Amino acid sequence: MTSDAIVVGAGVIGLTSAITLAERGVRVAVWSRDPAGDTTSAVAGGLWWPYRAEPEEKVGAWSLRTLGVLTELAARPEETGVRMVEGTLAGTGPEDLGPWAAEVPGLRPARREELPEGWDHGLRARVPLVDMVTYLDYLRRRLEAAGGTVERRAVAGLDEAAGAAPLVVNCTGLGARDLVPDAGVHPVQGQLVIVEDPGLDEWFVAADPGSADTVYLLPQPYGVILGGTAREGVWDLTPDPATAEAIVARCARVRPGLADARVIGHRVGLRPARSRVRLEAETAPGGRLVHNYGHGGAGVTVSWGCAEEAAGLLVSSG
């Protein structure tokens, strides 16, 4: 065996898990059917915020740990793709959040004049906003600098990885539905529209957890990401023109200048949802297997906290 550990999956969860192990001296190889640029992570909006993931108490702790790491990485935005950006979460008050909110620096209720027409309350915060293409490239370089490798390799089962290394981390997202198998993993389809930036310097989100339609505006270096949808159980990756038109219209009610912004791209991703994140260890043939999947729309937000817990489960028991 040339590796101590195999991480299956090269999205943000897999790469972060691999880095955490490699930087602790573990020889790590990442196996992935798809390159990082083709994973669900690559089409994520990239805003740090605990979103549609359970259990709440664990997600809060994982999110705060990740907030600390991303805040440090934001000191080098051109290298990492991470920036600290002010913004508004409309329709949500402090009472709607868990205890984690008290630990977010500067999080406060929005003043009435800070809210667009149609919302009477909300929150203001300065949090990480991640350009995912740049960030995934940074994670891969950081992994390779720590001695890890990434290999394009589709696996038929986790026992294949267990036969190649004594330690395995399953970060397969939706793939866990077949590989584990775990029928509790299901897609939540998200469609986005990317437009030229008419001069936005803040993000805006209004997301009802019970609604299939959301509103968010995320200014990135290459344009503004407009969203979106959260459609349970939908597997289709084809952008729907009517949905795209509705997304732009919803966002233009928040920032009218977006109505005439040139559309430069469409994206559809499938969030790997589960009733609760699965982060636990079990015995595998010849070693140890840790599952780290089911993060829904919060993968970026919980990534470092989950990676550190996964590494602890693996190394302490391996």
* Ligand-binding site membership of 271 (annotated): yes
Cβ pair 5, 169 in contact under 8 A: yes
301 is in an annotated binding site: yes
Is position 155 annotated in a ligand binding site? yes
Would you say 305 is a known binding-site residue? no
Label residues 136-166 b or e (16+ Cβ within 10 Å = b): bbbbbebbeebebebeeeebeebebbbbbbb
pLDDT at residue 317 tops 60: no
Cis peptide before 55 (omega within 30 of 0): yes
CB within 8 Å of 214: residues ≥ 6 apart: 205, 206, 207, 208, 227, 228, 229, 230
**Is the pLDDT confidence value at 105 over 90?**
yes
Q: Is 93 annotated as a binding residue?
A: no
Residue 133: count of CB within 10 angstroms of its CB:
18
Q: Percent of the chain, pLDDT > 90?
A: 92
Question: Domains of the chain: which residue ranges?
Answer: 5-83+129-185+274-317
Tell me whether residue 104 is annotated as binding: no
pTM exceeds 0.85, yes or no = yes
Is residue 296 marked as binding?
yes
As a CATH number, domain 5-83+129-185+274-317 is 3.40.50.720
In the three-class reduction of DSSP (H, G, I as helix; E, B as strand; rest coil), residue 99 is classed as helix
Cβ atoms within 10 Å of 257's Cβ, excluding its own: 13
Backbone angles phi, psi at 173, to 5 degrees: 55, -125
The verdict on whether residue 316 carries a ligand-binding annotation is no
User: How confident is the model over 298-317, as a mean pLDDT?
Assistant: 92
Is position 297 annotated in a ligand binding site? yes
pLDDT tens for each residue of 210-269: 789 999 999 999 999 999 999 999 999 999 999 999 999 999 999 999 999 999 999 999
* 160 SS3 class: helix
